[in-house]
Amino acid sequence: MTGQTEVKIAPSILSADFARLAEEIQRVEAAGADLLHVDVMDGHYVPNLTIGPPVVAALRRVTRLPLDVHLMMTNPDAFLKDFRDAGADSISVHVEVVHHLHRTLEAIRSLGARPGVVLNPGTSLVLLEEVLPFVDFVLVMTVNPGFGGQRFIEACLPKVARLRRMIDERGLDVAIEVDGGIGQHNVRALVERGAQWIVAGSAVFGAPDPGLAVRQLRAAALGVASPDGESGEAVPTAV
């Protein structure tokens, strides 16, 4: 199990109200969010379109939180510098789409951003073996990417545990990020298996009070009493 200080909450702006985006970001920042997760979708690699570097630049102007930019694109290499210049602090790319992954990860680092690699639910951890030493984090998708509000895929729980063992056996300092269908009901199970960066969209911005939702999610992740007085302990799920 990971230590409490390693858990970071990363609200995903995919589920935010873009008409009030600055206000919503300020609420989660004040509530103690650690990162802002930014999903970039190109309509080719995933069946949805979202945002580009100008929106990331606008986010940079309204928050001091690190911007965690997840590129769901067929040609991420062409946009790495644009997103870094716009203010991205970490940039992750999909192992399924990048042809020269080592070169891409090194390019991200050379730009001054933290490099990460992403795996879809159906992608094997075997594809990480040669690049783990070159990443700062691995993002395990716990839904199929493309849309917010999807149901968590339970088969991803043992995958996170296997990845944690893979990282620890190599003695690497690599964080595990998880994204998709995560809320108070299942976040503890993910943390117990080694997840450290928790991405949550609907569970935060779909709540009446996004700030309170951030605090409740953190409490649930750590298994402590939540701000509303209820236990944050999740029901155990077998690996």
* Angstrom distance (rounded) from CA 146 to CA 148: 7
**Is residue 179 among the annotated active site residues?**
yes
* Angstrom distance (rounded) from CA 197 to CA 98: 23
In the chain, the N- to C-terminal Cα span, in Å, equals 13
* Angstrom distance (rounded) from CA 131 to CA 103: 10
Q: Does residue 214 contact residue 32 with C-beta atoms inside 8 Å?
A: yes
**Is residue 209 among the annotated active site residues?**
no
Catalytic entry in 17, 82, 179, 228 = 179
Cβ contacts of 129 within 8 Å, gap of 6 or more: 166
Catalytic entry in 39, 82, 89, 136 = 39
Residues noted as catalytic: 39, 179
